């Protein structure tokens, strides 16, 4: 917990105020008072931008940006730890990506792909092969030219270089690299949902960090087929390594005790499973959206409620830290609940 100052207010350094009050920084209405109470450099980014896509009765989705709004996207990403590039992959490109990934999944299911393309390590129960189609295809950029192009071309490559530095590297050549994921409910599925975690917690003993994960959505997400939950601003908190977890995962010796962009403690511990976190938001995506999230961002994914639903995407990560000489599957700390 953040220690309380005299008078009962939490003592939070001024530079990380938005992280300590994520719900308000995203959701509070813009009033004359809220405009004046925050110095200009701390104004929540959504006050500064014109609504773009996905409008509803309540207004625009504040984290969705068009390809011509990359400066605003970057400001939002740094401030809140995530941002969505809307409609980045459309028409024939989206269809090609979808077809290439589905084909890879079918070939893996039929035994027509080398075993290195499959994995069970992200599944609910390791070692239990799903009876239907696999939930994951690893090394997807070797099998899908469209995935490779999208993940290595502007604006994706330019954005991650801007955030992580010109020397950043992708995990494409490792098993933890670029992956196609098909999350679906039901008994033939080995992956349906995931509990709270930050990506850093999966390897707190390695010097890979910081990092940005890039997710290209092949399906629009909803309560029907499942969706991502995130806690805006949580990338700034110094979140503990996952010593306490529901899987009995062991945190390797030499791990950093905390990971985050500031030394400010989280206002409350990260829940171990799927509990509600104050200030969390449902990050619904459209087909073709590209989501960027910071490696320290608290996130989880809700299970689909429709039995026939599928939620498919490709995900790759770029790292700004030291590239390990070897990066083994055993390095994966599987702390998040499934």
Residue placing its CB nearer to ligand AKG in the complex, 45 or 160: 160
Q: By C-beta, is 194 or 264 nearer to ligand AKG? A: 194
Q: For residues 83 and 194, which CB has a smaller minimum distance to ligand AKG in the complex?
A: 194
Among residues 228, 264, 265, 337, which is the contact residue for ligand AKG, using CB under 6 A? 228
CB of 119 to ligand AKG, least distance (A): 12
DSSP letters, 256-309, are -SEESSSSPPPSSPPPSSS---TT-EEE---TT-EEEEETT--EEEEPPSSTT-
- Which residue, 47 or 128, is less far from ligand AKG as judged by CB? 128
Shortest distance (Å) from residue 54 CB to ligand AKG: 18
Site for ligand AKG in 278-317 (CB under 6 A): 299, 301
| Cβ proximity to ligand AKG, 199 vs 280, nearer residue | 199
- Distance in Å from the first CA to the final CA of the chain: 26
CB of 136 to ligand AKG, least distance (A): 9
Return the residue of 137, 147, 194, 231 that touches ligand AKG, per CB under 6 A: 194
Give yes or no for residue 184 binding ligand AKG (CB under 6 A). no
Burial class of residue 32, CB neighbours in 10 A (0-12, 13-18, 19+): exposed
Tell me the closest approach of the beta carbon of residue 319 to ligand AKG, in angstroms. 15
Nearer to ligand AKG, 97 or 194 (CB): 194
The Cα–Cα gap between 319 and 167 comes to 9
Q: How far is the CB of 64 from ligand AKG (least distance, A)?
A: 17
**Which of residues 21, 69, 100, 199 is near ligand AKG by CB under 6 A?**
199
Distances (CA, A) of 152 to 155, 158, 172: 9, 9, 10
Is the Cβ–Cβ distance between 160 and 167 less than 8 Å? no
| C-beta nearest to ligand AKG: residue | 301
Tokens 């589905």 identify what position?
102
State how far Cα 254 lies from the chain centre.
25
Q: In 126-226, where do the E strands start and end?
A: 136-138, 169-170, 179-183, 194-197, 211-217
Restricted to residues 94-113, the positions that interact with ligand AKG (CB under 6 A) are none
Q: How many residues bind ligand AKG (CB under 6 A)?
A: 6
Dist. CA 259–CA 28, nearest whole Å: 28
Does residue 139 interact with ligand AKG by CB under 6 A? no
Q: 195: which 2 tokens? A: 């509990």
Closest CB to ligand AKG among 236 and 301? Answer: 301
Alpha-carbon span 204 to 189, nearest angstrom = 29
CB of 248 to ligand AKG, least distance (A): 19
CB atoms within 10 A of CB 85: 23
- Minimum distance, C-beta of residue 13 to ligand AKG, in the bound complex (Å): 28
Between 28 and 126, whose beta carbon lies closer to ligand AKG? 126
Q: Does residue 183 bind ligand AKG (CB under 6 A)?
A: yes
Minimum Å distance from CB 87 to ligand AKG? 19
Distance between CA atoms of residues 229 and 300, nearest Å: 5
To ligand AKG, the closest distance from the beta carbon of 98 in angstroms equals 17
* β-pairing verdict for 179-183 and 136-138: antiparallel
Helix (H, G, I), strand (E, B) or coil at 108: helix
- Contacting residues toward ligand AKG, per CB under 6 A: 183, 194, 199, 228, 299, 301
């Amino acid at each position: 917990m953040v220690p309380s100052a005299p008078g009962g207010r939490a003592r939070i350094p001024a530079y990380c105020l938005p992280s300590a009050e994520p719900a308000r920084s995203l959701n509070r209405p813009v009033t004359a008072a809220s405009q004046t109470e925050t110095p200009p450099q701390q104004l929540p980014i959504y006050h500064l931008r014109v609504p773009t896509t996905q409008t509803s009765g309540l207004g625009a989705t504040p984290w969705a940006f068009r390809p011509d709004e990359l400066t605003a996207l970057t400001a939002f990403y740094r401030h809140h730890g995530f941002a969505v590039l809307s409609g980045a992959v459309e028409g024939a490109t989206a269809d090609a990506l979808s077809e290439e990934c589905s084909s890879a999944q079918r070939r893996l299911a039929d035994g027509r792909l080398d075993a290195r393309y499959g994995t069970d390590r992200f599944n609910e129960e390791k070692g239990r092969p799903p009876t239907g189609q696999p939930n994951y295809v690893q090394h997807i950029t070797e099998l899908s030219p469209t995935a490779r192009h999208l993940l290595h071309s502007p604006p994706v490559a330019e954005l991650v270089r801007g955030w992580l530095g010109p020397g950043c590297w992708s995990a494409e050549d490792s098993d933890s690299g670029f992956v196609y994921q098909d999350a679906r409910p039901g008994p033939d599925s080995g992956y349906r949902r995931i509990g709270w975690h930050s990506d850093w917690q999966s390897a707190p003993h390695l010097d890979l960090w910081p990092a940005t994960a890039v997710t290209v959505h092949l399906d629009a997400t909803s309560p029907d087929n499942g969706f991502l939950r995130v806690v805006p601003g949580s990338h700034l908190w110094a979140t503990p390594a996952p010593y306490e977890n529901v899987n009995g995962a062991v945190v390797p010796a030499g791990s950093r005790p905390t990971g985050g962009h500031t030394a400010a403690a989280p206002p409350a511990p990260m829940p171990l499973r799927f509990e509600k976190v104050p200030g969390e938001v449902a990050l619904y995506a459209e087909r073709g959206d590209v989501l960027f999230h910071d490696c320290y961002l608290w996130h989880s994914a809700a299970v689909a409620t429709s039995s026939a639903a599928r939620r498919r995407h490709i995900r790759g990560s770029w790292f700004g830290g030291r590239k390990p000489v070897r990066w083994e599957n055993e390095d994966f700390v599987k702390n998040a609940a499934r």
